Amino acid sequence: MVRMEALSPEERELMIRLPTPSFDTNPWVTAPPLEKVRLAIITTAGLHTRNDRPFQIDPNDFYRVIPGDVQANDLVMSHLAASFDRSGYQRDWNVVFPLDRLREMVSEGIISSLASFHYSVSAVHTKEEFDAPTREIARLLKKDNVNAALLLPV
- Residue 28 in any domain: the answer is no
- 47 vs 86, more confident: 47
The CA distance from 98 to 134, in Å, is 21
pTM: 0.78
Three-state SS string over 37-96 comes to CEEEEEECCCEEECCCCCCCCCCCCCEEEEECCCCHHHEEECCCCCCCCCHHHHHCHHHC
Q: Which residues span the domain enclosing 147?
A: 34-152
- Residue 110 in any domain: the answer is yes
- Residue 45 in any domain: the answer is yes
Q: What is the mean pLDDT of residues 27-47?
A: 89
Question: Each residue of 86-128: pLDDT tens digit?
Answer: 666 667 888 889 999 999 999 999 999 999 999 998 766 677 7
Separation of first and last alpha carbons in the chain: 6
3-state secondary structure of 149: strand
- Residue 103 in any domain: the answer is yes
Residue 65: is its pLDDT beyond 60?
yes
- Residue 5 in any domain: the answer is no
- Residue 40 in any domain: the answer is yes
3-state secondary structure of 98: coil
Question: Each residue of 121-153: pLDDT tens digit?
Answer: 876 667 777 788 889 999 999 999 999 999 988
- Residue 129 in any domain: the answer is yes
The CA distance from 131 to 90, in Å, is 31
Domain count, the chain: 1
